[in-house]
A and B are shown apart, each in its own frame.
Chain A
Amino acid sequence: MSGRSHALHAGAWWLWALGLATAASRTTNPLLLSLVVAVAGYVVAVRRTDAPWARSYGAFLKLGLVVLVIRLVFAIVLGSPVPGTHVLFTLPQVPLPHWAQGVRLGGRVTAEGLAFAGCDGLRLATLLVCVGAANALANPARLLKSLPGALYEAGVAVVVAMTFAPNLVADVSRLRAARRMRGRADRGWRALAQVGLPVLEGALERSVALAAAMDARGYGRTADVPRRVRRLTAALTLGGLIGVCAGSYGLLAEAGGGLGTGVLVLGLLVALAGLWLGGRRTVRTRYRPDRWGTRAWLVSGAGIAVAVLMIRAATSDPGALTPPAVPLAAPVLPVWPALAVLVGLVPAAAAPAPAARPRTGRGEPDGRSEPAWLDGPDGRPGPDARNGLDGRGAAAAVVAEWEKKGTSG
């Protein structure tokens, strides 16, 4: 099992994915973009874990497809700025009032316009797929844990929200089922709207319970700080913020450019000092923070390398990376940029392999049909007997439903 001791730093995955995204943003060549998607997809396929967030990749793929389709539909309905000669078909044009000049509804649809819109949409979709890859590979909670201490509260809020979302989905389906038992329709928008209030009520109750639990577990404990230090903290933070405001005003007013910048920087520094001093009030420590090791360097380095190589290729050979839409021509795969994109495959080997997927509960022969009372001599189970494969099933169902709703809604 791949423990967290050699799990990859979440930041490394994000750097790698953002590198791929940067590379994708430099080109409209559909072959190169497809290659980027393939590289990201392959790495996700071989290196993602079985965690709930890892299943979001499919949702991002679908979202990318939707973006692509929307881009094409817009090009068809609203026309394209690209002049073209190959008219595919002509839509009836809607006459628009004079204030809407420059907007066209309907009219000629050319092959060049469609090709241009398709490549452009593909680029957007590729960016989304890259973000989706990072999302699927990096544990979002671990990423938030790597944030500086001052942002800790924001991190907790996000994690709590993430665990709340599946609960909400489960609540909705439970209440819809209950409506069915009252003989009311359980499908459609009306049904969904009518369970809204009870769902909200449930979410509120759960938040209050969670707040109580967090309080009882010591959330928000503060260290004793001498009064002088507290006052200094307040003075620094307030003074710094005033400085930032004054500085930004000076910059925007463009009266004294140099002075404005100076005040802004000084204000920022003072405010940061205040935050740092304020951080001493919290007593928190961190449990097993992620370490940035060789693998993290390799993974993030691969992403950055792809981005740098692509940016250089874009300046040295713009024709290959952004082929002109007119005249219409089949795209050509430029060799060096393609090889550069393939560097993005490094994590497929460099990143630690995910833990073996747990069995889905049907793998074993009849080992598990032995009853609970045979488990352990002391009433506790053997290591595997009660590992809750059935519980996993319920959770998987919830997540699957969540995904379904996320993409269709």
Chain B
Amino acid sequence: MIRFENVGVRYADTAAPALAGIELTVPEGELCLLAGPSGVGKSTLLNAVSGLVPHFTGGRLTGRVTVAGRDTRTHRPRELADVVGTVGQDPAAHFVTDVVEDELAYGMESLGIAPDVMRRRVEETLDLLGLAELRERPIATLSGGQRQRVAIGSVLTAHPRVLVLDEPTSALDPGAAEEVLAVLQRLVHDLGTTVLLAEHRLERVVQYADLVVLLPAPGAAAVVGGPAEVMAVSPVRPPVVDLARLAGWSPPPLSVRDARRRAGPLRERLAGCSPAPPRQVADAEPVAVVRRLAVRRGRVEALRGVDLTVRPGEAIALMGRNGAGKSTLLGCLTGLHAPTGGSVQVGGAVPHRTAPRELVRRVGLVPQEPRDLLYADTVAGECAAADTDAGAAPGSCRALVGELLSGVPDATHPRDLSEGQRLTLALAVVLTARPPLLLLDEPTRGLDYAAKARLTAHLRSLADAGHAIVLATHDVELAAELADRVVILADGEVVADGPTAEVVVSSPAFAPQVAKVLQPQEWLTVGQVAAALDGGR
């Protein structure tokens, strides 16, 4: 269905090609997962299938890409629209109309499909994706998972034979991600659609894949094969595969269910041990105290009766569905939203009444999009500005950058950094003011496993140095690695608050893979298991 023959892509003004020597055949009706570290050209490969590379992005394509027998060199994206449906990273950038039903029909209108056929297909797609309830809703009012489903539906109505998705679940909470994956599976099973998707969060998708295409490094040849065999050699792999390596299971199981079947002996070996006790947090003066906090935004109560105490050296993960109030709570701690009830105190000050210059010494926030925090043209300029903003001694920010992010030249434009590097630069900028409380909003979006591990290590050492860390995240693995305490928000209220192991092990949605495999034992991460096995020997 999709065929790459010795394909290379090189963009203008770049030293190395984005893709080189790609040989790939995806048969019809397969769910094909494209995996690899950041910056290996996953998006470029996806866009080459839809014809956006090179027709839209420019650059030079060598070799041949054919989709359903059509050569993308001679067919523009619009001429492939009836065989390839593409959904980009941000579904919001994909919508042309403002109502769900119109959005589903838009592609068909462009293709000139007869009105009665359009009507039938819209109804079918509404049912297939479970969108019937939402047909009249303005798209702006939908949640993240719903938007992703509408975006998929909007390309499905044209009955494409190939569906191309770029990180369809990265921005979603675990529940919404399940929703989207259930839909994809149904398409593959019931309609025989060929699905090609790129995803960083392999733990969510790899068990559904029929075929995995691994791009191990920039410019390297693609490794194509069954999920188990590719995962056995992959530099990016979900925790369950890491656990398999540790336990010596081969081929590695890909789903929690398969792993549990083989985990009996491992559980026995671990029976005598228990995870290292959670770090003891000194009973010091809290850096932030939230009491009976209520916030209204417009007509909606975003938070109600929220209590939270943050002590120095503590790492707290805030979890919950998209829209549960996580970002609002972080916003209250930084004084962005004034509480409508209750109180917020950060370092003894009321955030929304404190001048920004004063506030940065008490609390720092790395926003969801770290780029928002960066203004200058070069890394050096950014560091100098950060020193001035924070009133720190000249050079303090640069020293932090050197510590966290070695080997980045001063003259680099922040835009040219990778996602992980940009996040680290933003973190350094925020840390320049030495705030005792550090907040991060969804920090692992778009990060590969290596970048995530580096971030986790940085944050751990910051917590050990006495910084309190609060992070809002959908990433259960990150929470398990980093957090001492997990707070779950639902509908603006705290529904669970306690030590990580206690809260997440009992919860199917928020439990990390290792916990699910080794239940009822309370192991959270591969690292813990490895340490226990080493100690037991």
Q: Are B98 and A159 in contact (CB under 8 A)?
A: yes
A372 to B79, CA, bound (A): 40
> Inside 8 A of A283's CB, which chain B residues have their CB?
110-112
> Inside 8 A of A397's CB, which chain B residues have their CB?
297-298, 300
A396 to B386, CA, bound (A): 34
> Inside 8 A of B140's CB, which chain A residues have their CB?
52, 163, 166, 395, 398-399
Cβ-closest chain B residue relative to A176: B336
> Inside 8 A of A395's CB, which chain B residues have their CB?
138, 140-141
Q: Let me know if B513 is at the binding interface, CB within 8 A.
A: no
> Inside 8 A of A178's CB, which chain B residues have their CB?
367, 372-373
Q: Are B88 and A400 in contact (CB under 8 A)?
A: no
Q: Are A287 and B115 in contact (CB under 8 A)?
A: yes
Most chain A CB inside 10 Å of its own CB: which residue of B118, B173, B181, B356: B356
> Inside 8 A of A254's CB, which chain B residues have their CB?
none
A11 to B367, CA, bound (A): 44
- The one of B51, B111, B181 that contacts A379, using a Cβ cutoff of 8 Å: B181
Cβ-closest chain A residue relative to B107: A217
Count residues of B near A (Cβ-Cβ below 8 Å).
Answer: 108
Q: Are B299 and A217 in contact (CB under 8 A)?
A: no
Q: Let me know if A391 is at the binding interface, CB within 8 A.
A: yes
A161-210 residues with Cβ-Cβ distance < 8 A to B are 162-163, 166-167, 174-175, 177-186, 194, 198, 206, 209-210
Q: Let me know if B144 is at the binding interface, CB within 8 A.
A: yes
Classify the secondary structure of A's interface with B.
helix
Cβ-closest chain A residue relative to B134: A387
Q: Are B141 and A212 in contact (CB under 8 A)?
A: no
A387 to B145, CA, bound (A): 10
Given A284-B109, A373-B175, A386-B146; A163-B323 close (CB under 8 Å): no
A167 to B118, CA, bound (A): 30
Q: Are B175 and A386 in contact (CB under 8 A)?
A: yes
Q: Are B322 and A391 in contact (CB under 8 A)?
A: yes
Q: Let me know if B242 is at the binding interface, CB within 8 A.
A: no
| Chain A 280-315 interface mask (CB, 8 Å, partner B; 1/0) | 000111111000000000000000000000000000
Given A371-B507, A375-B175, A396-B299; A212-B88 close (CB under 8 Å): yes
Q: Are B490 and A177 in contact (CB under 8 A)?
A: no
> Inside 8 A of A362's CB, which chain B residues have their CB?
301
> Inside 8 A of A389's CB, which chain B residues have their CB?
300, 323
Q: Are A206 and B81 in contact (CB under 8 A)?
A: no
- The one of A1, A186, A216, A287 that contacts B109, using a Cβ cutoff of 8 Å: A287
> Inside 8 A of A213's CB, which chain B residues have their CB?
86, 88, 93-94, 96
Q: Are A209 and B143 in contact (CB under 8 A)?
A: no
Q: Let me know if B130 is at the binding interface, CB within 8 A.
A: yes
Q: Are B110 and A217 in contact (CB under 8 A)?
A: yes
Count residues of A near B (Cβ-Cβ below 8 Å).
Answer: 79
> Inside 8 A of A141's CB, which chain B residues have their CB?
97-99, 102
- The one of B90, B142, B357 that contacts A391, using a Cβ cutoff of 8 Å: B142
> Inside 8 A of B389's CB, which chain A residues have their CB?
182-184
Q: Are A372 and B509 in contact (CB under 8 A)?
A: yes
- The one of A198, A209, A211, A284 that contacts B112, using a Cβ cutoff of 8 Å: A284
> Inside 8 A of B386's CB, which chain A residues have their CB?
182
Cβ-closest chain A residue relative to B358: A183
- The one of A156, A206, A355, A390 that contacts B93, using a Cβ cutoff of 8 Å: A206
> Inside 8 A of A400's CB, which chain B residues have their CB?
298
Given A216-B50, A285-B114, A286-B115; A183-B360 close (CB under 8 Å): yes
Q: Let me know if A153 is at the binding interface, CB within 8 A.
A: no
Q: Are A360 and B300 in contact (CB under 8 A)?
A: yes
Q: Let me know if A368 is at the binding interface, CB within 8 A.
A: yes
Q: Let me know if A148 is at the binding interface, CB within 8 A.
A: no
Given A288-B105, A397-B297; A216-B51 close (CB under 8 Å): yes
Q: Are A379 and B359 in contact (CB under 8 A)?
A: no
> Inside 8 A of B324's CB, which chain A residues have their CB?
390
A297 to B125, CA, bound (A): 34
A209 to B90, CA, bound (A): 9
A373 to B204, CA, bound (A): 15
Q: Let me know if A226 is at the binding interface, CB within 8 A.
A: no
Q: Let me know if B133 is at the binding interface, CB within 8 A.
A: yes
Q: Other CB < 8 Å A-B pairs besides A217-B78, A371-B509, A397-B300, 15 of them? A: A52-B138, A166-B140, A181-B360, A183-B390, A212-B88, A216-B77, A218-B110, A378-B182, A386-B175, A387-B143, A389-B323, A390-B321, A390-B322, A391-B322, A397-B297
Give 30 CB contacts A-B under 8 Å: A4-B101, A4-B136, A159-B98, A175-B372, A177-B331, A177-B372, A179-B356, A181-B334, A206-B93, A209-B90, A209-B94, A212-B52, A213-B93, A217-B81, A360-B299, A361-B491, A369-B493, A373-B175, A379-B181, A380-B178, A384-B133, A386-B176, A387-B134, A390-B321, A391-B144, A391-B322, A393-B297, A393-B300, A396-B297, A397-B298
